Chain A
Amino acid sequence: QQQVKQSPQSLIVQKGGISIINCAYENTAFDYFPWYQQFPGKGPALLIAIRPDVSEKKEGRFTISFNKSAKQFSLHIMDSQPGDSATYFCAASPNYGGATNKLIFGTGTLLAVQP
């Protein structure tokens, strides 16, 4: 019940295209859903996050879509660029308090944006 399932494992997108990564969870107590970007040898960097009270959040080229009833959420990267090539992790925070609590990470998606 603590798992966060992420797909696909890897993704190749052409420059200018849309990258879509999906995550699903079981635990209805999760109340904070961030997405992180990680480059090789670096720590994860927060991209965007959402809470269950909204169905969509957009920041620049990044959009999170959230389906509470299906317990699924996804990251959309519009106008994908070669610089977006990295590993993306979804995560969820159990219990209350949001980001002050521990994060459960998805398995990661390796994105390659071809020029």
Chain B
Amino acid sequence: GAVVSQHPSWVICKSGTSVKIECRSLDFQATTMFWYRQFPKQSLMLMATSNEGSKATYEQGVEKDKFLINHASLTLSTLTVTSAHPEDSSFYICSAPRGGKQFFGPGTRLTVL
């Protein structure tokens, strides 16, 4: 199957700082990628659709100015959590489609102190 990587796998930051998470499709190109957030023992909630070469599409209730998404190339999408607060602590997961299937990255655990 296709491989999607994320970096970093975990990050701890202080409240008020910004954190960037990378999502890469390793062996295929993806014009679209998706970003999800998952709180402990809960389901995955779609945050936004990342579109290569154009603006991201955000789901209702997701602050676009807080969660900045940049799809700079056909293999890389980045999610930047700006001015992070403890309530932003969560598991962030990206996915990319290939061959009619969605492949997920391993996730990034964000802890905001």
Contacts and interface: CB of A to CB of B under 8 A. Distances in A.
Secondary structure class of chain A's binding surface, majority of residues: mixed
Interface stretch (B14-22, B42-50, B65-73, B76-84): B42-50
A13 interface: no
B20 to A, nearest CB: 18
Interface string A31-60: 000101000011111100100000000000
* B: contact size bracket: 20 to 34
A100 interface: yes
A107 interface: yes
Secondary structure class of chain B's binding surface, majority of residues: strand
**By CB atoms of chain B within 10 A, which of A34, A41, A45, A102 has the most?**
A102
Interface in B47-103: 49, 91, 93, 95, 97, 100-103
**By CB atoms of chain A within 10 A, which of B45, B93, B97 has the most?**
B97
A20 interface: no
A107 B100 CA distance: 23
A40 B106 CA distance: 11
Interface of B: 1, 4, 6, 32, 34, 42-46, 49, 91, 93, 95, 97, 100-107, 109
